[in-house]
Structure formats: C-alpha cells, structure tokens
C-alpha cells in the first residue's frame, strides 16, 4: 500500500548500527504500550523507560508523540498489509471454484485481522482524531477490499447476481463489518467477541456463497 506522504516525511529513520536498534526499540515500546493500555494515553517518558532509550534520543528522531505514533501506525499497517496480501494470494491460488474461494478468502481476512487486533483497536481509535492516520487506514482497507473483490471476479461465471461488481463490493462490506464487530474495532468495542469465532466464519461463508450464487432480485 502506498503510504501518505504526510506521515513518511515526518519520520527520520536511521538505516544502520546503534541508531537503528534504538529507533526500533522506540517503536516497539510505543506499540507495546498501545496494546497494553488499549489507547495512546501514555507519555514519552513511559516509552523511554520501556524502550530503554533516552528522551533526547526520542526527540532526535521524532518531533513529538504524534510523530512517533505515526511511525508505529505505518509499521503496523505494513505488517498487516503484507500478511494480508500473502494470505489472499494463497487463497486465490488454492481455490478451484467460487465456494472454495469464498471460504478461503474469509479465513484469510478474518485471521489476519484477528492476528493484529490488539494493536489495530487503539490505532483505529487514533484515526477518529488524526486525519493522516485515518487516511492511511482507509487506504489499507481499500487495498484489501479490492484484492478480495478481484479474486471473486475471477469466478464471475459462477456469480449469478445481475451485477457481479456490485455484488462483490457488497460482500466485502458485509464481511468486514461482521469481523470488525466481533474484534471490537472502532465503534464496535462493546460488541467484541460476541458469539463463537468459528461459527461466525462458517456462517459468513454460507451466507456469502449463497448470495453470490443466487439470481433472486428483490
């Protein structure tokens, strides 16, 4: 995914030696605090202590806490996007028909988001007040949505909906909303982990496959 230039230009990442190791500890410490606290309500002093780096070193790399959070967000999105891309590609290559593909795509999306749910939750909270974080999050969402939709359209001959493009767009919206609700993303925090995870994935597969295979128009 192409990241927003407004974030990348704010970072001064070293490329080697002790400076790189120190920089990585800063990011790792901030990410760990985000996960542990479930929000970005921590100080740079806490980052300094946890990462075993001086406050001066942090300010040498970042203009302040906001820039540090931007760097963490970029690193998280890169990790999520790379894993998502690999799993979606494997799902696409391993399926021989639409039904198999639906199941494989749901597994790829659901498990990737769950793998990173603890860090994605606080970052999504940050997105509600940070336009740059929000823009990059939306771009990541769009990239995954497009990959899923294009994979489904490879089996367009099995899709009986009158407009396959509209149908696969609706499919991803429903899929993401259901997974996001279960994982407690954004406004769904209070609904986290309602029901059984395996049952949710199975039922999503059944519903999506049935929808795409149906030519009923209401």
**How far, in whole angstroms, is CA 151 from its chain's centroid?**
18
Looking at the chain, which runs of residues are DSSP E strands? none
Token pair for 164:
């396959």
What domains can you pick out in the chain, each with its CATH number? Answer: 5-65 (1.10.10.60), 74-213 (1.10.357.10)
DSSP letter assigned to residue 189: G
Token pair for 165:
């493009």
> CA 146, 113, 3, 21 torsion: positive or negative?
negative
> Which pTM does this prediction carry?
0.88
**How far, in whole angstroms, is CA 106 from its chain's centroid?**
14
Q: What 3-state class would DSSP assign to 147?
A: helix
Q: What is the pLDDT along the chain (218 residues), one digit of tens a residue?
A: 444 444 444 455 565 667 789 999 999 999 999 999 999 999 999 999 999 999 999 999 999 999 999 999 999 999 999 999 999 999 999 999 999 999 999 999 999 999 999 999 999 999 999 999 999 999 999 999 999 999 999 999 999 999 999 999 999 999 999 999 999 997 655 656 677 999 999 999 999 999 999 987 76
Question: Could you give the CA distance from residue 31 to residue 36 in angstroms, rounded to a whole number?
Answer: 9
């Amino acid at each position: 995914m192409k990241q927003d230039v407004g974030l990348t230009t704010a970072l001064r990442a070293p490329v080697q030696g002790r400076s790189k190791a120190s920089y990585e500890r800063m990011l790792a410490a901030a990410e760990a605090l985000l996960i542990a606290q479930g929000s970005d309500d921590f100080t740079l002093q806490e980052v300094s202590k946890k990462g075993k780096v001086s406050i001066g070193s942090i300010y040498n790399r970042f203009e302040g806490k906001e820039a540090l959070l931007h760097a963490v967000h970029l690193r998280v999105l890169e990790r999520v996007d790379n894993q998502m891309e690999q799993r979606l590609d494997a799902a696409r290559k391993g399926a021989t028909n639409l039904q198999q593909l639906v199941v494989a795509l749901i597994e790829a999306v659901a498990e990737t988001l769950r793998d990173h749910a603890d860090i994605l939750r606080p970052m999504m909270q940050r997105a509600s007040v940070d336009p740059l974080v929000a823009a990059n999050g939306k771009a990541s969402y769009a990239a995954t949505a497009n990959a899923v939709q294009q994979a489904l359209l490879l089996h367009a001959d099995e899709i009986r909906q009158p407009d396959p493009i509209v149908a696969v767009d609706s499919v991803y919206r429903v899929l993401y909303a259901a997974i996001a609700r279960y994982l407690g993303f954004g406004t769904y925090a209070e609904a986290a982990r309602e029901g059984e995870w395996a049952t949710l994935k199975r039922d999503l597969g059944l519903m999506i496959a049935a929808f795409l295979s149906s030519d009923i128009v209401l």
